Amino acid sequence: MAKPLILVTNDDGITAPGLRALIRFMKEIGDVVVVAPDSPQSGMGHAITIDNTLYIKKITVDPKDGALAEYSCSGTPADCVKLGLRELLDRKPDLCVSGINHGSNSSINVIYSGTMSAAIEAGIEGIPAIGFSLCDYGWNANFEPGKEAIQQIVRQAIVQGIPKGVVLNVNIPKTDSDTPMGIKVCRQARANWKEEFDKRTSPNGKEYYWLTGEFELLDNGEDTDEFALSKGYISIVPTQFDLTAYHAIQQLNTWKLNA
């Protein structure tokens, strides 16, 4: 029986330790092809390149990682998936996995995440997709404690399938133990970023701004991703790319609007 074909991508760049770990984890499950940005693309959301050229280069970062092929892309995470599906793969992948991101993509962070946007782009194309993130921003973060759970989730996604129109957002807590407490399926916590702009002056006297901010959790629910992560559990949030607020349609239809 043929192994499943797994497309691996990320937003931290093709040399990021989290991506290299995910490649190694996936090669134990299927055949792996990598298409990832040639430089960090964190916070790019679902941006695509429409006013510039795109370049692809076939490379090998580390032969021991075991990918069938690796490509670095000059574009965004969403560009990587588009090019992978349209230009580089000779058949439709059975699964797309994105990550492992260096840092959390739980709660409202999913909106800004290049990691999740790459997975969502695959989902739009009808490819079952999962974004993985570790709640540790360190470049030398330890990804091994999440290996067993990541592989378990991926195997279940391949065997059971992911509901149509749904992409999984998986966040792994930073833990000092060998493994997380377990896995919980959750809803996205309500939260926001209290943002500020630090006004600075460059050496040549030009003013510029640097974005800073503080994460504000606005949700006390015990069924959220933030709660699960705070207790040492891996969170799985089923996300969708249909942004329609169906519950609001009836109310809007009461507005006095000229047809």
Binding residues: 11-12, 42, 101
C-alpha 156/C-alpha 58 separation (Å) is 31
Q: Are the CB atoms for 195 and 212 separated by under 8 Å?
A: yes
Beta strands in the chain (DSSP E): 5-9, 31-37, 56-59, 69-73, 95-102, 129-134, 166-172, 183-185, 191-201, 207-217, 234-240
C-alpha 145/C-alpha 128 separation (Å) is 24
Q: If 0-12 CB within 10 Å is exposed, 13-18 middle and 19+ buried, where does residue 74 land?
A: middle
Q: HSE on the CB side for 144, CA within 13 Å?
A: 5
Distance of CA 77 to the CA centre of its chain: 9
Binding residues for a divalent metal cation: 11-12, 42, 101
Cα angle at 79 between 75 and 85, to 5 degrees? 135
Q: Are the CB atoms for 122 and 46 separated by under 8 Å?
A: no
